[in-house]
């Protein structure tokens, strides 16, 4: 089977610098390549060669366009201006707009036409599905949603995009439920393809091993990740556990408000609005980033400065090592996560998790078994979860072992690639036979969450 996986133009796919969707493109392509002819398309970054090989998969770098770069820089300003004119706040998110790397999409569509793949697997950028369909009428197209942006993109626009797609997949049940609620008249199956994790052969985790006295957070230092709540929670219990410290690993940078708060999500808006506005004015991206960084550092009292460390960038291998060595992993997101990779990677490293019920995190972390879950924005709940785990080493060991077993069982790339294959095969004609017919996807195994839209 010839499979083409198309990443978003904004994503970094190749290590060591990868975005979350880029990690998924990279992992899925490599594991599918064991049995299929796989090419992944990505925007050229950091002087990548035209083609990179990894475990049998080809990664094609599509040259950057000056037009795409100008649109990326100018879109936030235009969006804020139109929001002020309409009095509605920031408009459609950049990632869901036709301004998100349109030249890249056109170049990929032409490459696909030459390659003539059996399946085109689009990662998130659904708005360009009609273009891929126009130039590739005989390929099966699979749309893969990683976030809740259908509302923000506009229901009528998304409905048009849906007509170009043969199979619809979501990265979690949370995203799938939202999609089906918004498009209840959509016929067919919506399948779940979870994000995968690497089973590190050098993983040194052993049940009961001595861990460092560290609580770890990994993720962007953006308001929607709730880092402010995590710092506040740790400071509340710091004096009770003087031997523990908090490591915060991730780059500063406030994600745009309209990328993390979809239309009608008043709960997320209430939790985040104060970080993006000042005296009734929407802050620019740089202003919001600078302000949030100042807020985070101001939350740390002087007597705890040496126990709370900020690290902007670490290679992924180093991040996984720190996850294995930490006592507890904390994930404090206050918006509805499409999946949330860090908690799952921490679980795979044998580390118990204290996290918020942020979208799909409620699916990946089992409360009371692999960690503790609290409501979004619940600082007291985060502090209590940390306190229970830091006070009981035996509990940390038990939960850590359960977390690792669960993560490897449910989220290995082998399981993810097998599910993707099953979906692809359900779209192709059974040889010998006529030209490809669009048909429903085969029902996945029982352990994969699947739901049917009402007819």
Lowest mean pLDDT among 197-211, 312-326, 344-358, 399-413: 197-211
Query: For 84-109, what is each residue's pLDDT tens digit?
Result: 655 555 667 788 888 899 999 999 99
DSSP sequence for 265-301: -HHHHHHHGGGTEETTEEPPHHHHHHHHHHHHHHTS-
DSSP sequence for 69-93: HHHHHHHHHHHHHHHHHHTS-S-S-
159-168 burial string, b = 16+ CB within 10 Å, else e?
Answer: eebbebbbbb
Q: What is the pTM of this model?
A: 0.85
From the CB of residue 7, how many other CB atoms can be counted at a distance below 10 Å? 28
Give pLDDT, residue 453: 36
Report the candidate in 168, 178, 161 with the shortest Cα–Cα distance to residue 121: 168
Query: For 61-85, what is each residue's pLDDT tens digit?
Result: 998 789 999 998 888 777 766 666 5
Is it the case that residue 201 has pLDDT exceeding 90? no
Q: Using an 8 Å Cβ cutoff, are 449 and 192 in contact?
A: yes
Give pLDDT, residue 452: 33
Query: For 152-195, what is each residue's pLDDT tens digit?
Result: 556 777 788 888 999 999 999 999 988 888 887 664 568 999 99
Question: Could you give the CA distance from residue 316 to residue 322 in angstroms, rounded to a whole number?
Answer: 10
Is it the case that residue 449 has pLDDT exceeding 60? no
Give pLDDT, residue 454: 34
Is it the case that residue 5 has pLDDT exceeding 80? yes
- Delineate the domains of the chain, giving CATH numbers in brackets: 2-196+413-452 (3.40.50.2000), 214-410 (3.40.50.2000)
In 99-200, which ranges are E strands? 119-123, 140-145, 167-170, 189-192
Residues of the chain with pLDDT > 90: what percent? 65
Lowest mean pLDDT among 147-151, 209-213, 314-318, 436-440: 436-440
From the CB of residue 438, how many other CB atoms can be counted at a distance below 10 Å? 11
Residue 215, classed as helix, strand or coil, is: strand
Q: Which residue has the tokens 């669960």?
A: 406
CA 24, distance to chain mean position in Å, is 8
Give, as one character, the DSSP assignment of residue 441.
P
For the chain, the residue count is 455
Is it the case that residue 234 has pLDDT exceeding 70? yes
């Amino acid at each position: 089977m010839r499979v083409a996986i198309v990443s978003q133009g904004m994503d970094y796919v190749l290590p060591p610098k990868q975005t979350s969707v880029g990690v998924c493109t990279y992992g899925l392509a490599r594991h599918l390549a064991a049995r299929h002819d796989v090419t992944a398309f990505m925007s050229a970054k950091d002087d990548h060669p035209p083609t990179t090989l990894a475990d049998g998969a080809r990664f094609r770098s599509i040259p950057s366009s000056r037009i795409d770069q100008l649109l990326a820089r100018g879109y936030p300003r235009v969006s804020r201006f139109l929001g002020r004119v309409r009095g509605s706040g920031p408009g459609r998110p950049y990632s869901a707009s036709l301004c998100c790397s349109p030249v890249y999409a056109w170049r990929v569509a032409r490459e696909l036409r030459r390659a003539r793949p059996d399946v085109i697997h689009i990662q998130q950028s659904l708005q360009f599905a009609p273009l891929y369909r126009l130039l590739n009428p005989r390929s099966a197209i699979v749309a893969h949603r990683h976030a809740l942006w259908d509302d923000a993109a506009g229901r009528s626009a998304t409905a048009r995009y849906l007509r170009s797609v043969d199979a619809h997949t979501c990265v979690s049940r949370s995203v799938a439920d939202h999609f089906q609620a918004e498009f209840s008249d959509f016929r067919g199956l919506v399948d779940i393809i979870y994000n995968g994790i690497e089973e590190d052969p050098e993983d040194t985790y052993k049940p009961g091993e001595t861990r460092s006295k560290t609580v770890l957070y990994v993720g962007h230092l953006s308001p929607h990740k709730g880092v402010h709540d995590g710092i506040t929670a740790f400071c509340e219990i710091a004096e009770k556990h003087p031997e523990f410290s908090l490591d915060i690993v991730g780059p500063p940078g406030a994600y745009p408000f309209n990328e993390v708060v979809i239309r009608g999500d008043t709960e997320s808006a209430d939790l985040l609005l104060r970080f993006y506005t000042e005296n009734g004015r929407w802050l620019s991206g740089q202003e919001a980033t600078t302000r949030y960084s100042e807020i985070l550092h101001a939350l740390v009292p002087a007597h705890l400065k040496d126990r709370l460390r900020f690290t902007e960038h670490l290679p992924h291998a180093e991040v996984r090592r720190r996850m294995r060595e930490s006592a507890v992993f904390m994930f404090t997101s206050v918006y509805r996560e499409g999946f949330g990779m860090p908690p799952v990677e921490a679980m795979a490293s044998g580390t118990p998790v204290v996290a918020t019920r942020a979208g799909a995190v409620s699916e990946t972390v089992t409360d009371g078994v692999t960690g503790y879950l609290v409501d979004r924005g619940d600082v007291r709940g985060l502090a209590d979860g940390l306190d229970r785990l830091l006070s009981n080493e035996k509990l940390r060991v038990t939960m850590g072992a359960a977390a690792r077993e669960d993560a490897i069982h449910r989220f290995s790339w082998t399981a993810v690639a097998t599910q993707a294959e099953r979906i692809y095969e359900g779209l192709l004609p059974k040889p010998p036979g006529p030209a490809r017919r669009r048909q429903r996807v085969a029902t996945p195994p029982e352990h994969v969450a699947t739901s049917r839209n009402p007819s």
